[in-house]
Amino acid sequence: MRKISLSDIQSKIAEGRPDVDYAVNVFRGKTRDQGWTMKRMKPRDPDEIKALNYLARSQYRKAVQEGTIIYDKERRVLTIAKYIRGEDKRKIE
């Protein structure tokens, strides 16, 4: 089996990045009149839905543990810590 280091992987990615960025920008520049849209045309696969749900839940739980998202039980509201204003911030602390 061939071994490859992380720096080799990163250099391979860096080589192809400009081409990929250019292709993405060309695609985004196309209009509906040209037959392109950014909207998804086919429904998501059930396994893809499960994977995306798992990722979203894990990111949410991590944010709650770190304190970047705060859940207020009385009002049943989620707030993002960095967007809390002065007076509301004092209530939480």
* Tens-digit pLDDT profile for residues 38-65: 676 788 899 999 999 999 999 999 998 9
Q: Which carries the bigger pLDDT value, residue 40 or residue 4? A: 4
Q: Quote the CA–CA distance of 68 and 60 in Å, as a whole number.
A: 9
> Is the distance from CB of 46 to CB of 35 less than 8 angstroms?
no
Confidence of residue 92 (pLDDT cuts 50, 70, 90): low
For the entire predicted model, the pTM comes to 0.48
Q: Helix, strand, coil % (nearest 5) of the chain?
A: 60, 10, 30
